[in-house]
A and B are shown apart, each in its own frame.
Chain A
């Protein structure tokens, strides 16, 4: 196999491990963003409703209706959005610059090519082991990734209580 082909194989392997390891964090990020967005929109919706209520007293009520249903739809859409189905999970966003790094200013002699090949394998080894390490730590320490709300809920559940929904 020519060195170029070998580089291609290693490049693909690296991209695969990057995509795989980034997937989890991307899902978490999208979820986090969605949550923030929903909170913001809900806040706006409540403001509108309040305004509408006060406007009703002065009898021009239907002014905000269009805007209101827009907000409601947007909130519904965000809530229904499943981050695990996002297309962004299937590619690595810096792949073009990575490709450039690997295939441009290509080293001439076989020794340097081998060194680069080996190094690319080491990078995917790092990405893979880092991901597996984080997964294991998380699995053995389920409290690590819980937010405060979740922790309170579970602590209460331990003694048979339930935290009221607000």
Chain B
């Protein structure tokens, strides 16, 4: 992941205090290892300075490379920030993102799309059979490990934990039933394609199960693992980002299904709906208790910008 997310800002916190942002707790990334490769992304994250004048997109051989003053932007591992030409909208968004930086505005959250794309490119780079083991460890690029960690999100998926009927006069539960149940059903159907028999997803119903953890049955886990293994490295990085943002395996599934090549999907859903699914409980909480400044309003945008950034990276025609 983009180094920016791993480094605290050197600022006088005591007086002009900043909110502590979630560190890039990303899967398997060892934040203790400093990456000192001299690449553009590392430089911008370490100095927080703008060191270029012109951002442009250079086309060559079916690819588009983003450049700063005619030199390619490089990801933390030193690969150039290049996307296939059929992802032209992505290239445009990347260019827009870089051309809107100013020295004082460079912060860990200002390059969300670049951050995902860098992860995609670097993951692809370290997934080649003779990749340097140290580099793999540096960016947490072990595919098996990523899959295992992501799989845990299916146990405690946001969409699988249903509230008691007594809360909010049953309104929250009714909304959950309406939004989640069809999605869970279609996820079951979808995952069944990766197993010999239809799989069932365990739901944690607070009225029946009370307070306990949730875990999926072995066949479901196997099918989900098979699904993760079927993803390209690029899609895996997008999937990872979505799952981490929404705390939901199923949301990741939905996003990829709606944005990858095939136009037809069994579970059509908009990105706004995905964001709503992931924050349904908060919607009811703020409705009743009011919004907390600097928390709910910021998080509302945060989840949407992240989900939309992920979908821009995933999109293929």
* Contacts from A to B (Cβ < 8 Å): 18, 21-22, 25-26, 28-29, 32, 94, 97-98, 101, 107, 109, 111-112, 114-116, 118-120, 122-123, 125-127, 129-130, 132-134, 136-137, 140-147, 151, 154-155, 158
- When C-beta atoms are compared, the residue in chain B nearest to A145 turns out to be B104
The verdict on B226 contacting chain A, using a C-beta distance below 8 Å, is no
Residues of chain B having any CB pair with chain A under 8 Å: 11-12, 15-19, 88-89, 92-93, 95-96, 100-105, 107, 109-110, 112-113, 259, 263-264, 270-272, 293-294, 297-298, 301-302, 304-305, 308-309, 311-312, 315, 317
Please judge, given known A-B contacts A116-B317, A130-B112, whether A140 and B102 are in contact too, CB under 8 Å.
no
Question: Taking each of B17, B88, B263, which has the highest tally of chain A beta carbons within 10 Å of its own beta carbon?
Answer: B263
Residues of A within 8 A of B18 (CB): 141, 143-144
Known: A32-B104, A109-B263. 11 other contacts (CB 8 A): A18-B96, A21-B100, A22-B100, A116-B317, A119-B315, A127-B96, A130-B301, A137-B109, A140-B19, A140-B293, A144-B11
Which residue of chain A has its CB nearest to the CB of B293? A140
Give the docked Cα–Cα distance between A133 and B16 (Å): 19
Contact A101 B19 (CB under 8 A): no
Assess whether B298 is in contact with A29, with CB atoms less than 8 Å apart: no
In-complex Cβ contact of A28 among B95, B104, B264, B304 (8 A):
B104
Which one, B105, B312, B317, contacts A25 given CB within 8 A?
Answer: B105
Contact residues in B for A154 (Cβ distance below 8 Å): 15-16
The docked-state distance in angstroms from the alpha carbon of A25 to that of B96 is 11
A28–B15 CB distance below 8 A: no
CA distance A142 to B12 in the complex (A): 12
Supposing A125-B308, A126-B93, A140-B293 touch, asked if A151 and B298 sit within 8 A by C-beta, the answer is no
Q: Is the CB of B96 within 8 A of A94?
A: yes
